[in-house]
Structure 1
Amino acid sequence: MNAPDNSLLVRQQLYRDMDPHHLTPLWEVLHALVPPRPATPCVPAHWKYDEVRPFLMRAGEAITAEEAVRRVLILENPALRGQSAITQSLYAGLQLILPGEVAPSHRHSQSALRFIVEGSGAYTAVDGERTTMRPGDFIITPSWTFHDHGSDASGPVVWLDGLDIPMVRFFDAGFAENGTARSQQVTRTEGTSMARYGHNMVPVRHDAPFGVTSPIFSYPYERSREALERLERDAPVDEWDGVKLRYVNPLTGGYPMPTMATFMQKLPAGFSGKGWRQTDGAVYSVVEGSGSVEVESGDKRWRFDFAPRDHFVIPSWHTARLSSAGGCMLFSFSDRPVHRALGLLKEERLT
């Protein structure tokens, strides 16, 4: 029998002796800390709206919007259960408000987006201005702004909430404050922010009302859809994305929020896209039409056939291919601004 490797015994004794001093050897974990490629624990996932909606309606019977503060079903990544996260840096959930309800006013350091999935006639109020919600609209709640939601609709209204909660939690920078009134006082007429900043013009003397967040907090779907349809007719269709545009902050030309980028894209009828991958994980909401996404990572494969109002997530550095026989519209958001700001963004378009 061979004698024990003396160097191994020396190392093991070293580890035991230094452990009470809260020391650990880098060389034992170096390859996990600095891997040759991104190694997310997240997995691709698909939430079919026809399966999710009954649970939302049951939630509407089980608790009021005021009791819940926000009546939301969280879309949890199957590999991150219990963490209230759809990727390691992003949160997503579906919020329901019923006729006559109010989700009370509060504010928080986390940035939030709302993407309207079902129903018209509800509203959200941000910093004294209300905007009516319509399917396909993209609405921003800037960090640390008071906001509340209410509904004058005749039926349920559902929207996708996207927040940077896990990211803010990582930095230990989360704060929240409840408003003193159930609903904030409306001080500006609806559409004021769009009139000031949404027509390729800005006031001669102005500041940035929400800091680095866009001064427009409601981006109507009808304008996004019109732009994409015109580009589909008049410009080349991208072989990876179809026709894709990103939402912008009109004061800077940059992303509408400091931590989240948002996009709308149209896959033309008969589109069969090439594969791509990127370091920023992305969450998708299907606005119109149907299609499929094929996702690969190593020897693992997923395929999701999606329909209107479905949601799916493509984690970091997973190869994805989009296709649609009849054409479709997709909204998506990711943590790309942070990747770009930190010099971490990497993407590949495969041929």
Structure 2
Amino acid sequence: MNTAVPNEIAQATPSSAAGESLYYEQLARQNLAPLWVSLSRLVPEEPRPTARAYAWRFSDALPYLLEAGERITAEQAERRVLVLENPALQGQSRVTDTLYAGLQLILPGEVAPAHRHTQSALRFAMHGCGAYTAVDGERVSMAPGDFIITPAWTWHDHGNVGDSPVVWLDGLDVPLVSFLHSGFRQQHEDAAQTVHRAEGESLLRYGSGLLRPDDSKTSSSPLFKYSYERTRAALHLIVRQESIDAHRGYEVRYVNPTNGDPALPTIGASMRLLPKSYRTRPYRSTDGAVFVGVEGRLRVTVNGEPFFLGPQDILAVPGWHLHQIEAEDEAVFFSFSDAPVHQKLSLWREDRQ
């Protein structure tokens, strides 16, 4: 075997600054790169998300959303949404490094056309009543605080049969799916899909802990709606009977009743309650998260920076950002994150201080 070093590389041995520069230039021409230059960036000592902590006040966003309702119809826009863009990721439609979030408006009498896509989606109802979403042939109504899912590749459309505007928060795994280059969509031939199941059918079948012997496990929850009324009742129960988690407060998580996994395979969601004046201990984890105020007021300190959340306000908390949460009154807030992906890939870590 000939082990001689080619002359052009031997001459470029990095024994001097000029030689080192020439050596790297020659590597680049061969589409090679020295790992020792990029190792600390590729494998850092701790997670280094690009996103930064940032809060959006719902009262500031709502006028712009209503103005969008005057400028474009739901049918023209397909989805009339104002994207929550993290200031460190402008132009990328990301609320954290791997999550998308946006505020969607639908006006009375409108229908947002049916489509489906490979991205998984959640809806968190925030403002107004009278709207619905139809998922996989079942229509579910929305009320503030309701958590609704759209599993990947299921037909869905939205409508408003009420007499006032309705706003909800969309949360999707778009950045993650885009990174994998596996995102695509399909438009339905009709504006709205045919509803072939009665509203509440999925709740009746799967919401009581009852499965048929031949029911198989599903990757996403067959329950499309988790009502705030039932969620709030569950929180009240654990407040009376259980001790509080010093780092996360009282918490209930939305799960798939067929296997106990998160309701969506790539997005975990929960509702949390903190008693009046309670302050959590410092906490961080590798997953990026979004907090949404539901009841009461919160002070969330992220890496030393304070943010104040009232009902409907939204906060991005990037991964591995140390944070503490303090409730001015008894407070309830919703959160979603990419924790299921971290956990399934054995990447998830938490730091409880």
For 2:288, the equivalent position in structure 1 comes to 281
For 1:321, the equivalent position in structure 2 comes to 324
For 2:55, the equivalent position in structure 1 comes to 46
Question: Displacement of 1:152 after TM fit?
Answer: 0.6
For 1:115, the equivalent position in structure 2 comes to 124
Aligned-partner Cα distance in 2 for 1:98–1:348: 44
* Per-residue deviation, residues 123-182 of structure 1 (Å, max 9, x unmatched): 000111000001100001010011000001111110000000000000000010000000
**Partner AA of 1:115 in structure 2:** F
Decide whether the 8 Å contact of 1:115 with 1:137 is kept in 2: yes
Aligned-partner Cα distance in 2 for 1:40–1:113: 23
Decide whether the 8 Å contact of 2:101 with 2:169 is kept in 1: yes
Decide whether the 8 Å contact of 1:89 with 1:164 is kept in 2: yes
For 1:222, the equivalent position in structure 2 comes to 229
Decide whether the 8 Å contact of 2:125 with 2:169 is kept in 1: yes
For 1:73, the equivalent position in structure 2 comes to 82
Aligned-partner Cα distance in 2 for 1:310–1:224: 19
1:260 aligns to 2:263 (yes or no): no
Question: Displacement of 1:8 after TM fit?
Answer: 3.0
For 1:242, the equivalent position in structure 2 comes to 249
**Partner AA of 1:266 in structure 2:** L
Aligned-partner Cα distance in 2 for 1:174–1:206: 29
Aligned-partner Cα distance in 2 for 1:236–1:291: 20
Aligned-partner Cα distance in 2 for 1:13–1:188: 69
* Per-residue deviation, residues 267-288 of structure 1 (Å, max 9, x unmatched): 1112111110000010011111
**Partner AA of 1:89 in structure 2:** T
* Per-residue deviation, residues 248-277 of structure 1 (Å, max 9, x unmatched): 100001111110000100111121111100
**Partner AA of 1:46 in structure 2:** A
Aligned-partner Cα distance in 1 for 2:215–2:35: 51
**SS class of match (1:293):** strand
Structure 1 stretches of 4+ moved >6 Å = none
Whichever of the two has the greater Rg, that structure is 2
Decide whether the 8 Å contact of 2:288 with 2:337 is kept in 1: yes
* Segment drifting more, 248-257 vs 197-206: 197-206
1:347 aligns to 2:350 (yes or no): yes
**SS class of match (1:312):** strand
Aligned-partner Cα distance in 2 for 1:53–1:80: 22
1:153 aligns to 2:162 (yes or no): yes
2:114 to 101, 105, 108: 105
1:29 aligns to 2:38 (yes or no): yes
1:194 aligns to 2:203 (yes or no): yes
Aligned-partner Cα distance in 2 for 1:157–1:288: 18
Aligned-partner Cα distance in 2 for 1:278–1:79: 20
**SS class of match (1:140):** strand
Counting aligned pairs with the same residue, the percent is: 48
**SS class of match (1:228):** helix
1:332 to 326, 330, 335: 335
- Structure 2 length-normalised TM: 0.94
**Partner AA of 1:346 in structure 2:** R
For 2:19, the equivalent position in structure 1 comes to 10
| Aligned residue-pair number | 340
**Partner AA of 1:339 in structure 2:** H
Q: CA RMSD in A?
A: 1.1
Decide whether the 8 Å contact of 1:117 with 1:160 is kept in 2: yes
Consecutive unaligned residues of structure 1, counting only runs of 5 or more, are none
* Per-residue deviation, residues 104-131 of structure 1 (Å, max 9, x unmatched): 0000000000000111110000111000
- Structure 1 length-normalised TM: 0.95
* Per-residue deviation, residues 325-344 of structure 1 (Å, max 9, x unmatched): 21111110000111001110
**SS class of match (1:15):** helix
**Partner AA of 1:344 in structure 2:** L
Aligned-partner Cα distance in 1 for 2:282–2:261: 26
* Segment drifting more, 234-243 vs 189-198: 234-243
* TM alignment of 1:207-218, pairs within 5 A: 207-208=216-217, 211-218=218-225
For 1:59, the equivalent position in structure 2 comes to 68
1:86 to 71, 89, 95: 95
For 1:166, the equivalent position in structure 2 comes to 175
**SS class of match (1:6):** coil
Aligned-partner Cα distance in 2 for 1:10–1:307: 60
Aligned-partner Cα distance in 2 for 1:212–1:50: 36
For 1:292, the equivalent position in structure 2 comes to 299
Consecutive unaligned residues of structure 2, counting only runs of 5 or more, are 1-13
**SS class of match (2:89):** coil
Aligned-partner Cα distance in 1 for 2:49–2:150: 28
Aligned-partner Cα distance in 1 for 2:94–2:352: 27
Aligned-partner Cα distance in 1 for 2:214–2:248: 38
1:19 aligns to 2:28 (yes or no): yes
1:304 aligns to 2:307 (yes or no): yes
Decide whether the 8 Å contact of 1:197 with 1:203 is kept in 2: no
Aligned-partner Cα distance in 2 for 1:305–1:18: 51
